[in-house]
Amino acid sequence: MKSETQHHRQPGGVRAAAVVAGALGAGLIGGVEVKAQEAMYTAAATMPSPGVYVLRQQYHWFSYSSSPSEGTDRAQRLEVKSSLQYGLVKDLSLTLDVPVEYTSVKYANRQDTDDSVGVDDLDLTLKWRFYQNDPGGIDTIRIALLGGARLRTEGRFSTDPHVGIVYTQVHDIHGFNAEAHYTFNTGSDPGTPNFGGKGDSDALNLNLAYVLRVFPITFTPESKSAWYVTAELNHLYEANGDHELKFSPGLMYEGRRWGFEIMGQIPVYTRLNHRARQTFGIGIGWRYIF
């Protein structure tokens, strides 16, 4: 997790994030069209062609209730995440996630808030698509395996390995993604709130996404763009017994070289004894293909 310092920013972390974000946004060449149909919080079994980059920039804001076990009254979290995916060879890609987080936590025994900013855990993920069936048109069925590690670069360095599988199907105007992802957590930073999936316990993410193309109704190889509405169910189970299920509706636009997405997130079911409940979330993102 990132380092925590009350009431001031961490210039080193912000500087590092700016360098990485600049590198992601500059000097990228080449590319072909990629129709991802990938919702914001659920992976898809799609990837760029060999030698092609996809840059994804996302902004997330989350609000949290109290956590008696952690001694917090409320918390706010803003995450700016830069993701760069590169097509290594056919059916194999590598993704680097670089998140920068600002958090504001109100502890129960204090009048002021504990504010911090810095680079959060980096993440490297390999995606291997081992099955693809394209019956015709834009219809497709694809399955991919995911494997990688979350790298904790602030405080005590550690790695959290993770593995997953994702199923993607597109039929006419309908798209469907199902993802299961397991993270082996090697420990957490003492005194740092766990906002989900980054505590001492292992974490299992189960995500479902439905993507409906609303315009154009008929999509052809000559079509230059499309609009979609999306709906996700995002479930997080932690080995300490905590459960959290969230519903995430959204809107997505995809062109030949870039895309835009906006998503809300609300809790549906929670059973949490070791961390705070997320009360609301919103995300905005862009995708660029190089």
Q: Tell me, yes or no, whether 106 lies in a domain.
A: yes
2 lies in some domain: no
Q: Are 77 and 101 in contact (CB under 8 A)?
A: yes
Q: What angle do CA 228, 231, 237 make, to 5 degrees?
A: 145
Answer yes or no: is 94 within a domain: yes
Measured from the Cβ of residue 185, the count of other Cβ atoms closer than 10 Å reads 20
Instruction: Note whether residue 37 is domain-resident.
Output: yes
What span, in angstroms and rounded, lies between the C-alpha atoms of 255 and 224? 6
pLDDT digits (tens, 9 = 90+) for 52-84: 999 999 999 999 987 777 777 788 999 999 999
CA quadruple 209, 215, 220, 222: dihedral sign: negative
In a domain, 245, yes or no: yes
Q: Which residue has the tokens 């397991």?
A: 182
Instruction: Work out the burial of residue 19: count CB atoms within 10 Å of its CB; fewer than 13 is exposed, 13-18 middle, 19 or more buried.
Output: exposed
Lowest pLDDT segment from 97-106, 144-153, 198-207, 212-221: 212-221
pLDDT in tens, 209-256: 999 999 998 877 778 899 999 999 999 999 999 999 999 999 999 988
- What confidence score (pLDDT) does residue 194 get? 81
Q: Specify the CATH number for the domain of residue 66.
A: 2.40.160.40
Q: Is 135 helix (H, G, I), strand (E, B) or coil?
A: strand
Domain count, the chain: 1
Question: 170: domain range?
Answer: 11-289
Q: Answer yes or no: is 204 within a domain.
A: yes
pLDDT digits (tens, 9 = 90+) for 1-58: 443 334 443 444 444 333 333 333 333 333 333 445 789 999 999 999 999 999 999 9
- Average of per-residue pLDDT values in the chain: 85
Q: With respect to residue 73, please indicate whether it lies within any of the assigned structural domains.
A: yes
156 part of a folded domain: yes
